A and B are shown apart, each in its own frame.
Chain A
Amino acid sequence: MINLLILPILIPLFTAIVLIFMVKYVAAQRVLSVVSTLGTLTASIVLLMKVRADGVQSLNLSSWDAPFGITLVSDMLSILLVTTTSLITLCVIIYSARSIGVERERFYYYAVIQFLLVGVNGAFTTGDIFNLFVFFEVMLMSSYVLIVIGGTKIQLRESIKYILVNIISSAIFVIAVAYLYSIVGTLNMAHVSERIAEVGQPPILTVVAVLFLIVFGLKGAIFPMYSWLPGSYYAPPVPILALFGSLLTKVGVYSIMRTYSLFFYHDQAFTHDLLGILAIITIIAGCIGAIAYWDVKKIIIYNIIIAVGVLAFGVSLLTEESIRGTIFYIIHDMIIKAALFLMIGIMIKITGTSNLRQMGGLIKKYPLFGWSFLLTCFGLAGIPPLSGFPGKLMIVRAGLEEGAYVGALTVLLSSLFVLYSVIKIFMNGFWKAPKDYPGEDQQPVWFLWAPAAILVAVSVVYGVGAETMYPIISQATDALVNPTIYIDAVLKE
């Protein structure tokens, strides 16, 4: 079935439309969201099998031939990300049923989440640069609604900043697309890549490359463009924060990976070195934030920035091994960040505060939750059998091979800071003397813990089964390191 490609976009879209008509029936909304997201997940897994068997899949919408219509392209990287996204969204929806509150659920919460899923899945799957912009806007518009839903003071204040930053970056995206169109005269990504290869990337294209770096850096929080993130992500409730933290920045990173490996790989001396330097500073800035705060949300938010820096460093090397490491790491990081946010959400639910100094002794009452949190921390830092390890190992090894010693060392040292920052949460939150928290007994925690535990289990399997994942990741790497595979699949020459 050739239309399989569009299902991960179409299923959430139709679900969202149906959900709009049933806002008053909260229970039905929950059931429908879970069922349809399961459907999305199934469709993406089937598509994953198909890509695994037959290579890069492409679908020309309305049967217009490739450079003229919009093409959807699923190579291994994008379908892996789509599958991960669907899984995370499923877990967050289950988590939301108990934690987000009926007032928000009655206000189109689940419909907007489905629209967010449309935007993210679409951005991963599209093969057209302007269509990427449109899917970005679908994603961002849903994220505007999600960040402000509920309308508390802090949410209103922070979402103004969030929206302003994203309006500016969207305008720069339009400008960058306009310049690119005036140079190459096409919008289809494979065709753009081919035309750039013909002219061999003159300086003007390097300027466009930097412009794209600014756009996607703004979305993905890379060093000078990250300052909006800690404040804005602090505002929304935890399930929304989990969605944002694991999905939105990664779409920016994915776009950088795509454009820098498909378009602008001819003159790497400037663009990729620039990306590398920015990545190193991003890691350092994230580390400073992660160890500075005593607020559990802030600590994990700064950990997002560190991970984005590590990923950007992997992209900047653009060798086969570094890309393989980056792909391994990006999937690990999406899963583990979602799990971590859901878990600190449980901590906040039990204790009623996000201040680490007012917590303590949770392990006495919640041993299972405590140990699974520790497991997540080790996974995040990259302790060998767990999922953070193989990706970082490959990135560091590629860095050492390429002579990027400063970057490799920064990535290694950043692991220490990451470990310190999350172990700080564990030591202060779960150990020490138990405290009494008003109203904690009304909160049934197992229901919140279950979706987080699913994600942790997946990440552990992903880490332990790295050997099984390796050929799949390799296939994703091939299409990225070798643009002709992608171009041939789309233009079918």
Chain B
Amino acid sequence: MEILMSIVIGILFSSAVYLMLSKSLLRIIIGTGLLSHGAHLLLITMGGLKTGTVPLLGEHAKSYVDPLPQALILTAIVISFGVTAFFLVMAYRAYQEIGTDNMDQMRGNEAND
């Protein structure tokens, strides 16, 4: 099961990298979404996918799954959610102000070199 998950996560990472290397800003943001999906799935896979009950003490089971990675993922999810929301709004503002979503046209600085 872990091997299958690793392959899926690998595919997610490669899609994310491919998207983030493209020119359009929206594609880049979709890439970051896929990247955080991959990272979260990796976190749960690396915590171990052994069978066990959900981590609720009311279940009275012999074994439970590891609750720690779940808490970590929950934290990471809300953080990446906040960051993605900010990034999207910023992309919208940049589109309004600069008038393009092409990363090629967002180059350079007016530095006095």
Contact = CB atoms under 8 A, between A and B. Distances in A.
Given A171-B39, A298-B111, A156 B98 contact: yes
B90 interface: yes
Contacts of B28: 164
A157 B113 contact: no
Nearest to A179: B46
Contact of B87 (A163, A355, A356): A163
Among B45, B47, B79, the one with the most A-chain Cβ atoms within 10 Å of its Cβ is B79
Contacts of B80: 167, 170-171
Interface string A329-359: 0000000000000000000000001111100
Interface in B56-86: 68-69, 72, 75-76, 79-80, 82-83, 86
Contacts of B91: 160
Interface string A142-154: 0011001001011
Interface residues of A, number: 45
B46 A156 contact: no
> 6 shortest A-B CB distances, which residue pairs?
A182-B46, A355-B112, A178-B46, A174-B39, A178-B43, A295-B112
Contacts of A416: none
Q: In terms of DSSP, what is the predominant structure of the interface of chain B?
A: helix
Interface of B: 20, 25, 28, 32, 35-36, 38-40, 42-43, 45-48, 68-69, 72, 75-76, 79-80, 82-83, 86-87, 90-91, 93-94, 97-98, 106, 109-113
A293 interface: yes
Contacts of A187: 68
Contacts of A178: 39, 42-43, 45-47, 69
A154 B110 contact: yes
A294 B98 contact: no
Contacts of A130: 72, 75
Contacts, number: 113
B40 A174 contact: yes
B36 A171 contact: yes
Given A154-B109, A171-B36, A355-B112, A159 B90 contact: yes
Contact of A354 (B40, B43, B112): B112
A175 B32 contact: no
Nearest to A180: B46
A161 B110 CA distance: 16
Given A160-B106, A167-B36, A187-B68, 14 more contacts: A153-B98, A157-B106, A159-B90, A163-B87, A164-B28, A167-B35, A168-B35, A171-B35, A174-B42, A178-B46, A181-B72, A182-B46, A292-B113, A297-B111
A156 B94 contact: yes
Nearest to B71: A130
A174 B73 CA distance: 9
